[in-house]
Amino acid sequence: MNYQETVNWMFSQLPVYQLQGATAYKKDLTNALLLADYLGNPEKALRCIHIAGTNGKGSTSHLLAAVLQEAGYKVGLYTSPHLKDFRERIKINGIEISEDYICDFISKHQGFFEKNDLSFFEMTVGLAFEYFKKEEVDIAIIEVGLGGRLDATNIIRPLISVITNIGIDHTQFLGNTLRSIATEKAGIIKTNIPVVVGEYTPETKPVFLAKATENKAPIYFASETINDTYPSALKGDYQTQNKKTVVQTIQLLKKLYNFDISEDQIKKGFLNVISSTGLYGRWQQLKENPKVICDTAHNKHGLEIVLHQLKNEKFDTLHIVLGLVNDKDLDEILPLFPKKAKYYFCKPNISRGLETTILLEKATEYGLMGQVYNSTSEAYEKALASAAKTDFIYIGGSTFVVAEIL
């Protein structure tokens, strides 16, 4: 199979959470451990940082990778989901894994995947670990896919565990309270391994403290310990906490593991994060006059911050291109959006995309007025055609909506 055929097989033959939802979620680590053993346990050869959280995992992972790259380290970066191309998930120093490597990996192990009914995510994690070992990275930044305790990445023993924050999301898998979700995320805390917590609430802090105590893991709350941070190419207001989390993690790498990282390299890493790691879709400006911003925030916790930042923008008319996936609580999300805006409702081009008729009906209940379009691109084109130079266009609601625009 060529690259496109290989990727098509991966997405069509194997359950993948981003497309199918609940059917792709595995209840234990049996398959992840089975695959790791089959591959010769490449994860045991890696020095890793493990990053979990409801929001901010991607930004934190990329900021951390950018700083380490500036310091001269060879950095593996594993994140999900991708925006345009599967290869975005696995990078070394900002360069995506090659098409040939993916094709060879799948071709070589396809029989094992099929025989053991491995999920898309389990297979992809194995690919990343093997690739990073083969390329002898100095350190690998590993982002959790979903949750933490039962995530396929949770077979590693990292140098540092990081939990960015806790919000209500993926309740069908992780529970519907902050405490239950925090318990799942805290599952990445390992014995004697330091853990950095970016943000906490009165409900989640005791969960983190209890798990850290149980595992004799030193715990650091970045929001309490880090006061100053640095300017960054990532302009979203929510990046303030992510940057504090990264600074705390860098301090621990220097203190506990003798990483050589200067303050100037931290500054450069923050400023160069987009160009050096290829991170997109975080309060990303696409045009000026009218100003167009896209953002991948897709749950209550993330959208609250993004929409608050939106209120501080200056414009005549606000245009919002909005699409969601069908597992979101509309009664929780839609009230966050401003009524004084013109809406362009669309459906992300995936099986989990929420039908526009449902979105329109529910949005109307909350006073969000607009029209339905056949595609994300059509909705965006109509918004551009309708907007004056002094207007503002926001594109969001789903990672997949942003991906289609980019």
For residue 22, pLDDT beyond 80? no
Q: How many CA atoms lie within 13 A of 402 on its CB side?
A: 23
Contacts of 380-383 with CB under 8 Å at 24 or more apart are 380/321, 380/344, 380/405, 382/344, 383/319, 383/321, 383/342, 383/344
For residue 26, pLDDT beyond 60? no
* For range 96-103, the mean pLDDT: 98
Residue 10: predicted pLDDT: 84
Tell me the pTM.
Answer: 0.90
For residue 13, what pLDDT band results from cuts at 50, 70 and 90? low
User: How confident is the model over 123-146, as pLDDT tens digits?
Assistant: 999 999 999 999 999 999 999 988
* C-alpha to C-alpha distances, 376 to 82, 240, 302, 318, 383, nearest whole angstrom: 17, 30, 21, 17, 11
d(CA 329, CA 241): 25
User: How confident is the model over 231-270, as pLDDT tens digits?
Assistant: 999 998 889 999 999 999 999 999 999 999 999 999 999 9
Residue 107: predicted pLDDT: 96
